[in-house]
Amino acid sequence: MVTPAVSNPAPSLLDRLVLPTSGAWANDARRAALARFRDMGFPGRRDEYWRFAGGEDFAAPEPEEAPILDMQGEAPVFSGLERLKFSFRDGRFEGDLPALPEGLEVSRLSDAGQQDLHWARDLYGVLEAAGQSPVARPFAALNTAFAGDGLLIRVTGKVALPLSLIYCHDDPRSDAMLHHVLRLEPGAELTLLENGPAAARLNTVLEVDVADGARFHHVRAQGRDHGRRAITHLFARLAKESVFKSFTLTVNGAHTRNESVVEFTGDDAVAHLAGAAMGDGRMGDFTHDDTVFITHGAENCESRQVYKKVLMNGAVGVFQGKILVKEGAQKTDGYQKSQALLLDEDSTFLAKPELEIYADDVACSHGSTSGGIDEEALFYLRSRGVPAAEAQDLLVLAFLSDAMEEIEDAAIIEDITSRLEAWLARRRAG
């Protein structure tokens, strides 16, 4: 296990945090996570996966203020979809749990101790702990220890309605840690939606255990507040013939780091991870970091990563993606693509694509590119009467399209596309 050097002498965020008590097994898990975290410490710039963009703002004792974005009457993303809604405000669940359809069980993390939730006990902090090797993820351990709220979700059937987590942000100084665990029993199906800024500073962990033949579909739209900061962690364990798809949209936000750690433990499973990010440095800092680690530990599994970033006016994009194929993981099909569209010369894309392969019968590829707008295509569009700015927007959306195609639901693609169009149009209007 590679543990980052403890470079901050007295991490005062740790002094400020208090271990919540949410019942016997959860308390044990939290204490274990705190011990894990103490071994790792906060990451420093010399740590391999923190070189491009550091985590000082995530480690600072207090979050920086993040003014609340005026949505100007615009309905939040996913509003038009029929879904099961769970709302959080500045990191706290609010309201009552909605009536649940058959095949779905949901409890709050704070209630964990009072109920007999064996399945949750076997998951909470467990996938996170497994995901600490070979690369340490200190903020995830910190989250397991201190998460203030979250849901324990168990899916036993095919749930038709998406489960929607709505993260509101009212307090410009809120600091939130959310931790959800999700267990899909064999053959179960669920779509999970997440949207909203959640807090001025957000740290999330989502542990997803996908059993044999189960299907999990995840679509996330991170909040548009310019000053918000978020470090998110997705830990997934995929059993035989399971399917896992996750897409994240990021527009604005001062600093976002999305870590995804996926492990194939059963044969013939599929995992697709995609992200579309758009940042304009003119509206404030924008650093967006996708850090992905896929472990193929079983045969004939397919992993696909498609990450796209549109950067302008000093925006910074980071991609750190690794495919590890263990010995014996034959017939692995691993594909990784990370691309940045730089709309000017002030923006930066830093990429670290990695393959590590210990099996001989595999097909793995990765490609990382960055470049400007295609001038030939731009002229072609303009020669047909499309004004330059609109033509550019069309090409920006075209650039993002192969990440968007990883979303399974056409209505969601349309919803998200219309948001992107509106964002681009607002930018054009100045």
Residues lying near another protein in the complex (CB under 8 A) are found at 374-377, 379-388, 390-391, 394-395, 397-402
CB of 322 to another protein, least distance (A): 27
**In contact, 69 and 225? CB cutoff 8 Å:** yes
User: Least separation, in Å, of the C-beta of 420 and another protein?
Assistant: 12
Burial label for 196, CB within 10 Å (0-12, 13-18, 19+), is buried
For another protein, the closer of residues 118 and 384 by Cβ is 384
- Taking Cα atoms as reference points, which of 133, 116, 147 lies closest to residue 27? 147
29 Cβ neighbours under 8 A, 6+ residues apart: 121, 124, 125, 126, 144
Q: Considering the complex, what minimum distance in angstroms separates the CB of residue 402 from another protein? A: 7
**Which of residues 294 and 396 has its CB atom nearest to another protein in the complex?**
396
Which of 407, 379, 406 shows the shortest CA–CA distance to 394? Answer: 379
Rounded distance, CA 390 to CA 381, Å? Answer: 9
- Please list, residue by residue across 370-383, b when 16 or more beta carbons sit within 10 angstroms of its beta carbon and e when fewer do: beebeeeebeebee
Residues facing residue 190 across a β-bridge: 216
Between 347 and 392, CB nearer to another protein: 392
Neighbour-count burial of 212, counting CB atoms closer than 10 A to its CB (0-12 exposed, 13-18 middle, 19+ buried):
middle
Q: What angle do CA 404, 209, 243 make, to 5 degrees?
A: 40
- Shorter beta-carbon distance to another protein: residue 7 or 417: 417
CB of 400 to another protein, least distance (A): 8
| Sheet hosting strand 92-94, strand order edge to edge | 92-94, 84-89, 163-168, 189-196, 215-222, 243-251, 270-280, 302-312, 333-342, 363-371
Of residues 291 and 392, the one with the C-beta less far from another protein: 392
DSSP type of residue 76 = P
Give the nearer residue to another protein in terms of CB position, either 111 or 374. Answer: 374
CB closer to another protein, 114 vs 418: 418
Q: Output the smallest distance, CB 8 to another protein, in A.
A: 44
- Smaller CB separation from another protein, 19 or 398: 398
DSSP per-residue letters across 317-338: EEEEEEEEE-TT-TT-EEEEEE
**Sheet with 348-357, side-by-side order of all strands:** 104-108, 151-155, 175-184, 201-210, 229-238, 255-264, 287-296, 316-325, 348-357
Smaller CB separation from another protein, 270 or 381: 381
**Of 175, 176, 139, 149, the residue nearest 261 (C-alpha):** 139
Residue 21 or 401: the one with the smaller Cβ distance to another protein is 401
CB of 383 to another protein, least distance (A): 5
H or E stretch including 11? none
- Name the strand (E) or helix (H) holding 58: helix 56-59
Q: Which residue, 333 or 402, is less far from another protein as judged by CB?
A: 402
- Give the nearest distance from C-beta 398 to another protein in angstroms: 3
Q: How far is the CB of 73 from another protein (least distance, A)?
A: 24
| Shortest distance in whole angstroms from residue 194 CB to another protein | 26
What are φ and ψ of residue 404, in 5° steps?
-60, -35
Nearest alpha-carbon partner for 248 in 306, 161, 188: 306
Q: How far is the CB of 375 from another protein (least distance, A)?
A: 7
Question: Which three-class secondary structure state does DSSP give residue 409?
Answer: coil
